[in-house]
Structure 1
Amino acid sequence: MINGKIIKGIGGFYYVDTENGLYECRARGIFRKDKITPLVGDRVAISVVDEENKKGVVEEINKRDTELVRPPIANVDKALIVFAIKNPAPNLSLLDRFIVLAEKENLEIVIVLTKADLDDGSILQEIQGIYELSGYKVIPVSNKTKLNIDKIKDELRGNVVVFAGPSGVGKSSLLNEIDKNFKLQTGEVSEKIKRGKHTTRHAELLKLECGGMVADTPGFSSLTLDDIGEVELKDYFIEFSDFNDCRFGSRCIHEKEPNCAVKEAVQNGDIPKKRYESYIQLLNEIRQGRRRY
């Protein structure tokens, strides 16, 4: 058998990159029986059934280091969460959802803000203030002015990175700028609703000239937190960990409990108020989801 990595999956076919080239593979039926779906990013072993036409069968899937649900990709090292300064306007609640799910998978997170040339001087400053205080790296970029394109290449080099974010923020355009070999389709942004049309139809790992691989994934506008519990959620707001001397200790969910160090930190400006508001919003959403079942 030959070892490789699934770099694309379409309609039940898996394209596996190996030292002998790229093979188009089906997966063994045993995976379906065991309710295992091969994912882009999986490290696999394949058997070759037709060397001339590069056809094979996925026989084994190695243990995954990480696994994202949306986008469905395995073994990612880092998440570049991409939002635009304008067109569409940044939805910080949605950004926090992306962050929570990436934190749950223990990924390194970098926030990338596209269309920085459209900033009026206040939006970028506000977002950087919130998320840098929370402990995240924030990189503004502009395809038009080439601002910080090299910094993004540095983040990608040597890693398997997922590019995630809502439609219309310029993920494909940024990838095209990073690597001139890419010819990813980019969508027009509706002048009426200022949101992009979905242009990426499947998850795919793309090799980079600068080294490493990047996942170009379908755009979407909502994320569910079905697998996260009420008590667990606070662990994915990393700035809370600096204020863990609450009266109720690890049982404190930083909502209505007295003598809560996190709530005091919000009042003192040590934790961004908008991040705390997002936390409460997501906490209530998790509770409502539990009541439906």
Structure 2
Amino acid sequence: MRRYGKNPDEDDVRVRPNRKGNRPRTSIRPKHEDASEGFVLTVDRGRLTCLVGDRTIVAMKARELGRKAAVVGDRVWIVGDLTGRKDTLARIVRIEERSSVLRRTADDDDPFERVVVANADQLAIVTALADPEPRPRMIDRCLVAAYDAGLQPLLVLTKSDLASADKLLETYATLGVTYVVTNREQLATGDAADRVRDRLEGRVTAFVGHSGVGKTTLVNSLVAEDRQRATGHVNAVTGRGRHTTTSALALPLPGRDGWVIDTPGVRSFGLHHIDASRVIHAFPDLVPGTEGCPRACSHDEPECALDAWVEEGHADPARLYSLRRLLATRERREGD
């Protein structure tokens, strides 16, 4: 043990620092009043590419956000190096409240939701009429997810030169879904892009579709050449395409006020998280009829008041059938 004289001075005494840190803990968070607003374009392994003004910068989530994650389409507030120079990294310190959230689960028995995109206004469901064959159950699932998120659905049917769109469109006629039908010649000449682009102006539109339907090819025709993504081909044996888009990416519409968000091709669209009480709001003509429904009504049971509502002539029976068909997709796997 080290001993000092009777009158030790400060040079004789060594003060050990507090091992837990000398800085007192506080619940007060920094306000970051100097933060700049940004728009999340894509997310890749914890690094977020954001648009700040006219600059593209790379950022990471600040620790103070905890488990809250930013996704493509989020409006965020960023501090740090915003020059956009190579090897610079900023921090996302706040995430604005979202106007909409498009979610899906990997499968119907998967309890974990995955946020596909935030703040979108419209969901473009891209489906080929042939090569590969259309999958109405997949369309139904995407429609349910759109209605649940409060998005306007847009049905984009490709390859009409290989098969007619009439039968498929008849299935969705009572839903009043906006649609665009294109063929491969129109896609090559740019006519298809012009027809779809008219439906995108002034909106943030997320594009979804299973692999091989031509979704990314269509997106490439809509955006600037230097923003185009790689595309793949459909396997002649399995009828499936290869996932060439592996992460969601927001792209501006050239010369227009609007954004296109290309999402990875999916082979399933789980609806484990969907609540029937939210889907019914996409059918405003049926909503008043639910006032007499029992609590937590599935809208497809003997006590459902919608049957009487339709029988009294307040709504088209085909509309009720369409609602119940869509809600039934939550209970059945896509291949059933």
TM-score norm. by structure 1 comes to 0.83
Q: Secondary structure at the match of 1:113?
A: strand
The equivalences for 1:1-293 within 5 A come to: 1-31=35-65, 33=66, 35-49=67-81, 51=83, 52-53=85-86, 54-70=88-104, 72-119=116-163, 121=164, 124-146=165-187, 148-179=192-223, 181=225, 182-211=227-256, 212-229=258-275, 231-232=276-277, 235=280, 238-239=282-283, 241-242=285-286, 245=289, 248-249=292-293, 253-257=298-302, 260-261=307-308, 270-271=317-318, 275=322, 278-279=325-326, 281-285=328-332
Work out whether residues 135 and 239 of structure 1, in 8 Å CA contact, stay in contact via their aligned partners in 2.
no
Work out whether residues 131 and 137 of structure 1, in 8 Å CA contact, stay in contact via their aligned partners in 2.
no
Aligned-residue Cα RMSD (Å) equals: 2.9
In the alignment, the residues of structure 2 paired with residue 239 and residue 129 of structure 1 have an alpha-carbon distance, to the nearest angstrom, of: 18
In the alignment, the residues of structure 2 paired with residue 242 and residue 273 of structure 1 have an alpha-carbon distance, to the nearest angstrom, of: 7
Give the count of matched residue pairs.
277
- Radius of gyration: which is bigger? 2
Work out whether residues 57 and 82 of structure 2, in 8 Å CA contact, stay in contact via their aligned partners in 1.
no
Distance 1:62 1:25, change over 3 A: same
Q: Give the drift of 1:87.
A: 1.4
Q: Secondary structure at the match of 2:139?
A: helix
Provide, for residues 167-222 of structure 1, a one-character-per-residue CA deviation record: whole Å limited to 9, x for no partner: 11100111122235143211110000111111101111011214211111111111
Work out whether residues 246 and 261 of structure 1, in 8 Å CA contact, stay in contact via their aligned partners in 2.
no
Work out whether residues 80 and 90 of structure 2, in 8 Å CA contact, stay in contact via their aligned partners in 1.
yes
Distance 1:213 1:233, change over 3 A: closer
Q: More deviation in 106-115 or 252-261?
A: 252-261
Work out whether residues 121 and 205 of structure 2, in 8 Å CA contact, stay in contact via their aligned partners in 1.
yes
Work out whether residues 234 and 240 of structure 1, in 8 Å CA contact, stay in contact via their aligned partners in 2.
no
Provide, for residues 69-114 of structure 1, a one-character-per-residue CA deviation record: whole Å limited to 9, x for no partner: 2462111111111111011111111111101111111111111101
Q: Secondary structure at the match of 2:118?
A: coil
Q: More deviation in 252-261 or 37-46?
A: 252-261
Gap regions ≥5 residues in structure 2: 1-34, 105-114
Q: Which amino acid aligns with 2:265?
A: G
Q: Secondary structure at the match of 1:167?
A: coil
Work out whether residues 280 and 286 of structure 2, in 8 Å CA contact, stay in contact via their aligned partners in 1.
no
Q: Secondary structure at the match of 1:232?
A: helix
Distance 1:153 1:245, change over 3 A: same
Distance 1:18 1:99, change over 3 A: same
Gap regions ≥5 residues in structure 1: 287-293
Distance 1:159 1:245, change over 3 A: closer
Work out whether residues 102 and 109 of structure 1, in 8 Å CA contact, stay in contact via their aligned partners in 2.
yes
Provide, for residues 217-250 of structure 1, a one-character-per-residue CA deviation record: whole Å limited to 9, x for no partner: 1111112222224x527516x4584486479447
Distance 1:86 1:202, change over 3 A: same
In the alignment, the residues of structure 1 paired with residue 208 and residue 79 of structure 2 have an alpha-carbon distance, to the nearest angstrom, of: 32
